[in-house]
Structure 1
Amino acid sequence: MEIREARAADVVRLGAIQLAAGAAFRTVGLAWAADNPVPTDDVYAEYVREGRAWVADDPGPVAFVLVDVVDGCAHVEQVSVHPDHAGQGIGRRLIDRVDRWAADRGLPALTLCTFRAVPWNAPYYARLGFREITAPPGPELAWLLRAERRFGIDPATRVPMRRPVTATR
């Protein structure tokens, strides 16, 4: 399975992957997260155009990651692995690809915001080397966390995390 930069033709599959992956939230009492609308194809396309989206191709996308730059770090906005391909290390490979992208740009770390107690969220990312950000977050990450609260997400359920870039340039 190849991890590659997403292409315009991949955009039409990303929403379905995110919906399928999100269905697992129903099993942990977060049906609202499973039912949350996915981004529009235009949003996915913007990530693709800007070179901030990668897919796992088997053939065709079965998983993807979207990245922003937040407070000077590579911020993992979304990782979704279709359940038919879960448990194969694809998420780790996507995160490692983001790590190389960040290293190529001289960014010091990867960040993300995730659910604290969902097994495939914070505990999973901790196994990948992410640690909870306990100091006050930078202004952009703080804004993202406030936006989540305005969306109705209980801040006690969320955790911002950071991992130093490990790839070499």
Structure 2
Amino acid sequence: MSWLADAEVMSVERHLQLIAWGTCWVAVDAAGQVQGFLSAQMFDDDLHIHELSVAQVMQGRGAGRQLLEAVMNEARSRRLRAVTLTTFCDVPWNSPFYQRLGFEQAHSLAPDHRLAEALREEYRHGFAPGSRCAMSWQVVAR
């Protein structure tokens, strides 16, 4: 996985596009310093998380959870169907982190499903087949 550290990051243009669409959230500390961000995109009735990043020194302090909860609340307010993402399924802290917040692995996706295509695209970019999984959180109206 060392190649991942050298992989291309999301372009500035793409970040600006997602910000303009209102699907980016930022966590800041009391001094206004950015501690993390979450970038997502609408796909029909789903809000798909492209990236959740938290500064290493802030990991384990709740910033990631707060960002995810903000996205989940946004999905509720927009009356969406689900929040989706892809992540590493064999990294001990990834999948369990999302599961604690109610996300479930999508084990059987139709070949033409958007998340199945997202996984195939990740494998084409160098991820080992089977190393990634799709997850979703179903919105429940409050």
TM-score by length of 2: 0.89
Q: Which structure is higher in helix share?
A: 1
Contact 1:110 1:165 in 2 (8 A): yes
Report the aligned-residue RMSD. 1.6
- The unaligned stretches of length 5 or more in structure 1 are 1-29
Residue 143 of structure 1 deviates from its aligned partner by 1.8
**For structure 1, which segment, 149-158 or 78-87, has the greater mean C-alpha deviation from structure 2 after superposition?**
149-158
Choose which of 47, 52, 58 in structure 2 pairs with 1:74: 47
Residue 44 of structure 1 deviates from its aligned partner by 1.0
**For structure 1, which segment, 141-150 or 94-103, has the greater mean C-alpha deviation from structure 2 after superposition?**
141-150
Choose which of 28, 32, 37 in structure 1 pairs with 2:8: 37
Contact 1:62 1:82 in 2 (8 A): yes
Contact 2:109 2:115 in 1 (8 A): no
Structure 2 residue aligned with 1:10: none
Contact 1:99 1:166 in 2 (8 A): no
Structure 2 residue aligned with 1:93: 66
TM-score by length of 1: 0.76
- The unaligned stretches of length 5 or more in structure 2 are none
SS in 2 for 1:65: strand
Output one character per residue of 1:62-81: Cα deviation in whole Å (capped at 9) or x when no partner.
10001112352111110000
SS in 2 for 1:143: helix
Q: What is the CA–CA distance in structure 2 between the aligned matches of 1:73 and 1:131, rounded to whole Å?
A: 15
Number of residue pairs matched by the alignment: 139
